[in-house]
Amino acid sequence: MNCSKKMNQTNLHQRGLQGNSIGYMPGLDGLRALAVFAVIAYHLNLTWVPGGLLGVSLFFVLSGYLITNILLKQWEQSGAIDLKDFWLRRARRLLPALFVMLAGVMSWVMLCAPERMAALKQEALAAVFYTSNWYLIFHQVSYFESFGPPSPLGHLWSLAVEEQFYLFWPLLLGLGLRCLRQRKWIIGGTMAVALTSAAAMALIYIPGQDPSRVYYGTDTRAFALLVGALLAMVWPSRKMNPDLSGKKRLALDVAGGLGLLVVLLMIGKTNQYQTSLYQGGLLLYSVAAACLVAVLAHPASYLGRLFGWGPLRWLGDCSYGIYLWHYPVIILTNPVVSTEGLNLSRTLLQIAVSIILAALSRYLIEEPIRYGRRKQVRRRRSDLQWWHRPLAPSTKISFSILLMFIILFVTLDGGMQISESEKALAKSHVTQNQAQAADKDEISSMEPNATDKKSDISGDNITIIGDSLMINVEPVLQNRLPGIVIDAQLGRQMYQAPDLISKLQKEGKLGKIVIIELGTNGSFTEKQLMNTLDSLQRAEKILLVNTRVPKPWESVVNETLTKVAESYPNTKLIDWHLISSGHEDYFYPDGVHLTQSGMKAYEETLIDALISNKNDEREVISN
C-alpha cells in the first residue's frame, strides 16, 4: 500500500543507477485502487463485501513483490544493498503523510473530545514507531472501552506490519545473498518461513474466539509479504518479455483472470470470523493475489492494460493517502448510534473527503518533501508574473496542511460526541443495577397491558443465559417474571455456554424454556451454536435472541443464529435486530446497551415471545 508509481520509477539512486532501472507497471496501481476500496467497503460495513479486509492482504503481497524486486535489482547492479538509502527513502515516502494525518486527528480530538487524548496519545506513539499491531494485541482494553467509540487510528496496524517487514527483510535478504551463492536456497528458505508463518496462524487461531492475535501479528501475517517476495525471486520484472506470441499472451491473461476471480470471490464471500480463512484460506488468497500481481506487472498483459486505466491508476497512486485518511473520516463522521443501515449520501461524502485529503497530501506534502524542489524553470522567476511563479515546497506544505484541517473540521460535525458517550456508558455499565432497581415500579406500571401479560405467564421453568445486555435487563425481567432464572455475565461468549448449561442442570436451575442471548461480544461458529443447542436436549423450547451491536461480527452472528435455528424444530428466533431497527432511542451511545425505553422494548419482545410459545402449547393440547 506504500509503494507508488514513482517508487517504481525512481527508487534506485545509489552507485550510479538510473531512476528508471525498474520499469513502471501501471496495472499495479490499478490493483492498489481495488485493494484500498475493498478496505473502505469493509470499514463502511457494506454487507455485500464482507471480505473487504482482504484488501490488506493484497497490499501485503504487492509490497513484498515490489520491495524485493527493487532490492534484487539493486544487488545485481551493484553487488550490495544500501540499507541506509533504502530506509531513508521509505521514511521520506511514509512519514510526512502519516504525521499530518496524526496531527489532524489529534487536533480534532483535543478540541472536541479532550477526555480521549490520554488513550489516543498512546496509539499515536505506537503509530509513529510502527508498532500499532502489537499495541492492539498486548494492550488490555477494558470491557467498557471495547464498546465505546472505535479508535480513529485502529487501521494503522497494517502499516506497522509492513514497516516491520521493510526493517528486517532487507537485512535477511542481504545476508542470504551474501552467504548463499545459489538463488534456489534463498527461495527455499523464504518459502519455508512463509509456510511457518501460515502454520502459526492456523495453530494459534481458536475457532469461535477473537481472532485479533493472528489477524494483527507480524509473525502470523508475514506469509503474505513473503509470497510477494517469492514472486519477485522467480518472476522478476526485468525478465518479463513484452513480445509474447498470441498463445502465450492468452495463457498469461487466463492465469491473471483466474487469480482475479479467486480474489474477488473471496472478497465477496468470506468474513474475518470464518474459520477456513485462518486455516489456509489467507495463504490461498495470497497465492491467487501473487498470480494476479505477476500478470498485471507483465508488459504484454491485456489485463494489465485494463487495470492501467487512467482514473484507476490515479486512485492507486493515491492509495497510501486514501488508506491513511479514510478510517478517521469514517469513524469521526459516523453517528454515535445508527440503526437504519447504510446512509448512501454520508457514505459517498466520506469516500469523497478521504480522496480529497489524500490528493492534497500527495501533491502538496508528500511529493515536495520526497522529491524536493523541481528543476528550475527556464525563465528566471523575476521574469515571470506572480501567478506563473511556482510555489516553494514550504508554501505548498503550509497551505495544504491548512486546507486539510479546514476540510477535516468542516466535515466532522455530527460525529462522535465522546463526552456524552462515556457518561452514558458509565450510567449503563457501572450504575445500571442500582438505577434499574430504583425504577422497577415505574417501568412495570408504564403500560396497563403489562399486568395482563404478566398474569398470563410465569417465570417458573424459564432460564435465560446471556451476557452484559441481559445484565442490563435482568432487574426488569425479575420484576415481571418472579421465579425466572437469569445467568448473565460480562463478556460471555457462545463457546462457554455448554459448560454453563451443564452446571445449571446439576444445580436444578435449568428450566423447560431456555432463552439464549449471546453474540454481543463476538462471533461463533455453527458448530459451537449446535453444541450449545444439543446440550439442551431436556428443554422443551429454546428461544434464540439475535443481536444489534455496531461491530463487524453482527451480521455473522445473526446469519448463524438464523441458519442453525431453522434446523432445530424446538428452537425459535427472536429478531431483536429487526425490532430495534430505526430506534436509536433504545440505545446508549455504545450502540449496544439499553436505555430505559430500550429495556422496556426488549422486555416486551421477550414477553411476547413467551406468550406466543404458551399459545402454541395450548393449540397443540387442544388439537
pLDDT tier at 402 (50, 70, 90 boundaries)?
A: low
Spatial neighbors of 362 by CB under 8 A, at least 6 apart, are 97, 317, 318, 321
pLDDT tier at 543 (50, 70, 90 boundaries)?
A: very high
pLDDT tier at 393 (50, 70, 90 boundaries)?
A: low
Q: Do 466 and 542 belong to one domain?
A: yes
Q: Do 160 and 223 belong to one domain?
A: yes
Q: Do 430 and 370 belong to one domain?
A: no
CATH number, position 466: 3.40.50.1110
Beta pairing class for 513-517 and 485-488: unpaired
- Structural domain includes residue 379: no
- Structural domain includes residue 541: yes
Spatial neighbors of 188 by CB under 8 A, at least 6 apart, are none
Per-residue pLDDT, 403 = 60
Q: N- to C-terminal Cα distance for the chain?
A: 66
Q: What is the DSSP string of 321-385?
A: HHHHHHHHHHHHHS-S---S---HHHHHHHHHHHHHHHHHHIIIIIHHHHH-SPPPPSS-GGGS-
Residue 470 C-alpha cell reads as: 441481559
Check pLDDT > 80 for residue 193.
Answer: yes
Q: Do 356 and 260 belong to one domain?
A: yes
Spell out the long-range contacts of 448-453 with Cβ–Cβ below 8 A and sequence spacing 24 or more.
450/480, 450/604, 453/607, 453/611
- Structural domain includes residue 562: yes
Distance (Å, whole) CA 123 – CA 154: 8
One-letter amino acid at 226 equals L
Starting at the edge strand found earlier in the chain, the sheet holding 571-574 runs 485-488, 462-466, 513-517, 541-545, 571-574
* Overall domain count for the chain: 2
Question: Which of 67-71, 369-373, 376-380 bottoms out in mean pLDDT, i.e. has the lowest?
Answer: 376-380
Range of the domain at 100: 5-374+387-416
Q: Which of 142, 586, 587, 98 is nearest to 365 (CA)?
A: 98
**Residues known to be catalytic:** 468, 590, 593
pLDDT tier at 229 (50, 70, 90 boundaries)?
A: very high
Per-residue pLDDT, 400 = 58
Question: Which of the two residues, 154 and 389, has the higher pLDDT score?
Answer: 154
Whether residue 11 contacts residue 170, with contact meaning beta carbons closer than 8 Å, is answered with: no
Express each pLDDT in 273-304 by its tens digit.
Answer: 889 999 999 999 999 999 999 999 999 999 99
Check pLDDT > 70 for residue 261.
Answer: yes
- Structural domain includes residue 382: no
Domain boundary among 364, 399, 416: 416
Spatial neighbors of 342 by CB under 8 A, at least 6 apart, are 44, 45, 46
- Reported as type and span, the H/E element at residue 485 is strand 485-488
Per-residue pLDDT, 364 = 85
Whether residue 26 contacts residue 5, with contact meaning beta carbons closer than 8 Å, is answered with: yes
Average model confidence (pLDDT) across the chain: 83
Q: Do 369 and 296 belong to one domain?
A: yes
Q: Do 294 and 393 belong to one domain?
A: yes
SS3 assignment, position 616 = helix
Q: Do 427 and 411 belong to one domain?
A: no
pLDDT tier at 460 (50, 70, 90 boundaries)?
A: confident
Distance (Å, whole) CA 367 – CA 365: 6
Q: What is the mean pLDDT of residues 346-359?
A: 94
- Structural domain includes residue 381: no
One-letter amino acid at 294 equals A
- Structural domain includes residue 503: yes
Check pLDDT > 70 for residue 450.
Answer: no
Residues in the chain: 623
Q: How far is CA 578 from CA 176, 340, 501, 558, 583, in A?
A: 58, 10, 28, 11, 10
Check pLDDT > 60 for residue 213.
Answer: yes
- Structural domain includes residue 334: yes
Q: Do 395 and 487 belong to one domain?
A: no
Q: Do 397 and 358 belong to one domain?
A: yes
Q: Do 199 and 63 belong to one domain?
A: yes
Q: In the chain, helix, strand, coil percent, each to 5? A: 70, 5, 30
Q: Do 410 and 442 belong to one domain?
A: no
Whether residue 123 contacts residue 132, with contact meaning beta carbons closer than 8 Å, is answered with: yes
Q: Do 47 and 99 belong to one domain?
A: yes
- Residue where the block lists cell 482482504: 54
Per-residue pLDDT, 114 = 83
Express each pLDDT in 99-140 by its tens digit.
Answer: 999 999 998 888 887 877 888 888 999 999 999 999 998 875
Q: Has this prediction a pTM greater than 0.75?
A: yes
- Structural domain includes residue 256: yes
